[in-house]
């Protein structure tokens, strides 16, 4: 699946931005709906030479409100706001799918030890070891474009507050806009520009996302 994932690093006025996302119902031609709150814990995996980080990309196992699953993402240097993503249940079928795409996207082709019932051990057998842990609270709103002739969901808006649990409890804030429906690219771009201007936030390319930022902290 390809998606556009725009991130904005929040260094100031985080409480005001959080309150805006959490409590607003409309913004110009846009409506915010369906407030959702998630508790998330992520464990990221990479090789000893950080093959995914340097690509850029990442593999994580996410626990979201008790649901556990794989996410594998691959960025594009020529288009830093577009990514390839796969998401799959944390089971044998999901593990096979992830390993297949590790080979295709990142040239990680070691033969996996599928005889081991522990998924983390199978990842270890191909050189993928845990390298970063994050605990996160996420607020998410669905964004609808509402005009005289149109009433459609165009993207989702997120506010993330998280800490790197293995790097001196460093706290980090990020706003994220996810565009799953490419037919609304122009409308989402207009929404992003207007929102970024109102909130005075700056765009963060995928290669400088929270995972990449955390990895830079871990390397110091």
For the segment 154-199, what is each residue's pLDDT rounded down to a tens digit?
Answer: 999 999 998 877 665 677 888 999 887 778 889 999 999 999 999 9
- What range does the domain containing 29 cover? 2-219
DSSP 8-state assignment for residue 188: H
pLDDT at 84: 86
For the segment 67-93, what is each residue's pLDDT rounded down to a tens digit?
Answer: 999 999 988 766 666 788 899 999 989
Is 118 a residue whose pLDDT tops 80? Answer: yes
pLDDT at 216: 66
Find the CATH number of the domain harbouring 160.
2.40.320.10
pTM of the model: 0.87
Please state the domain count of the chain: 1
C-beta of residue 98 within 8 angstroms of C-beta of residue 72: yes
């Amino acid at each position: 699946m390809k998606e556009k994932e725009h991130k904005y690093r929040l260094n100031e006025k985080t409480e005001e931005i959080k309150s805006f996302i959490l409590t607003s119902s409309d913004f110009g031609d846009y409506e915010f709906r369906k407030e959702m709150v998630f508790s998330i814990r992520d464990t990221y995996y990479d090789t000893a030479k950080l093959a995914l980080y340097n690509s850029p990309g990442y593999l994580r196992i996410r626990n979201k409100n008790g649901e556990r699953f794989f996410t594998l993402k691959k960025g594009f240097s020529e288009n830093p706001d577009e990514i390839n993503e796969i998401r799959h249940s944390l089971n044998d079928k999901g593990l096979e799918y992830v390993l297949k795409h590790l080979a295709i996207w990142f040239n990680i082709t070691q033969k996996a030890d599928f005889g081991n019932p522990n998924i983390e051990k199978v990842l270890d057998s191909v050189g993928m070891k845990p390298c970063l842990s994050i605990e996160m609270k996420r607020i998410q709103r669905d964004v609808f474009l509402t005009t005289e002739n149109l009433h459609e969901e165009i993207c989702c808006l997120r506010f993330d507050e998280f800490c790197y649990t293995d790097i001196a409890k460093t706290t980090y804030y990020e706003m994220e806009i996810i565009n799953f429906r490419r037919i609304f690219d122009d409308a989402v771009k207009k929404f992003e520009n207007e929102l970024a201007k109102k909130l005075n936030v700056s765009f963060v390319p995928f290669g400088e996302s929270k995972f990449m930022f955390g990895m830079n902290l871990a390397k110091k």
